[in-house]
């Protein structure tokens, strides 16, 4: 019992550490940032490629933060019972933020589809040493290979499209959970596991893309307009 309680406290600590980190603004650095450098005139103004990247990341991570808090309440329910009113409030925030993330990524995709590539950045993506970078940073092989499958071809638009697709997938799972919670029914564990999995994989997909973009723009002068 002592060992189980210790494991539970470690889980709770990790959840709240992640939430605090998000509130301190790591969204500006973690998901697809500097992907705007792959396009001509990405800009910093509102409604630009760059602003949609940051906006989408911010809402995505806020939604994940709320979802982790929701999962924390589910975890604790074995000890203190289920408060469905509290679960609904947390879940509704997670859904609202993910809807905003989806909208931001939809706008990002639309703008990227209608903006020409910055060929200097694309050339750097085509010649980038993905295998060496993965080994140096010890990145998850499966997720990084997905990133590589887009960026090694210079397909930054496809990279953004997957962020949108995954956001829609997460939303559908959150809606399924909402249907249970709205009727005071304990949500299915399989759906809880899968929504956490897609959140995590999407976050690392976006992060690995950002790491590649930062590596290129940090070592190559004038590649980012």
The answer to whether the CB of 64 falls within 8 A of the CB of 203 is yes
The predicted structure's pLDDT at residue 28: 43
**CB proximity list for 184: less than 8 A, separation 6 or greater:** 84
The predicted structure's pLDDT at residue 87: 98
Measured between alpha carbons, how far is 163 from 169 in angstroms, rounded to an integer?
10
The predicted structure's pLDDT at residue 10: 40
The predicted structure's pLDDT at residue 47: 75
φ, ψ of residue 54 to 5 degrees: the values are -65, -40
The answer to whether the CB of 105 falls within 8 A of the CB of 167 is yes
pTM value is 0.85
The predicted structure's pLDDT at residue 194: 98
Residues of the chain with pLDDT under 70: 1-29, 41-46, 219-222, 225
The predicted structure's pLDDT at residue 21: 44
What Rg, from alpha-carbon coordinates, does the chain have?
Answer: 19
The predicted structure's pLDDT at residue 27: 43
């Amino acid at each position: 019992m002592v060992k189980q309680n210790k494991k539970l406290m470690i889980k709770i600590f990790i959840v709240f550490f992640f939430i605090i980190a998000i509130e301190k603004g790591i969204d500006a650095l973690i998901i697809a940032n500097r992907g705007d450098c792959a396009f001509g005139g990405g800009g910093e103004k509102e409604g630009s490629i760059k602003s949609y990247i940051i906006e989408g990341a911010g809402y995505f991570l806020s939604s994940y933060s709320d979802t982790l808090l929701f999962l924390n309440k589910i975890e604790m329910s074995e000890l203190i019972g289920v408060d469905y009113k509290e679960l609904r409030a947390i879940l509704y925030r997670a859904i609202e933020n993910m809807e905003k993330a989806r909208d931001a990524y939809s706008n990002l995709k639309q703008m990227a589809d209608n903006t020409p590539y910055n060929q200097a950045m694309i050339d750097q993506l085509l010649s980038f040493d993905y295998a060496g970078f993965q080994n140096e940073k010890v990145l998850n092989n499966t997720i990084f290979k997905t990133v590589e499958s887009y960026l090694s071809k210079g397909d930054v638009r496809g990279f953004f499209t997957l962020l949108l697709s995954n956001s829609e997938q997460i939303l559908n799972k959150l809606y399924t959970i909402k249907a249970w919670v709205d009727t005071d029914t304990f949500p299915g564990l399989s759906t809880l596991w899968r929504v956490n999995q897609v959140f995590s994989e999407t976050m690392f997909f976006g992060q690995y893309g950002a790491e590649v973009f930062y590596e290129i723009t940090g070592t190559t002068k004038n590649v980012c307009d």
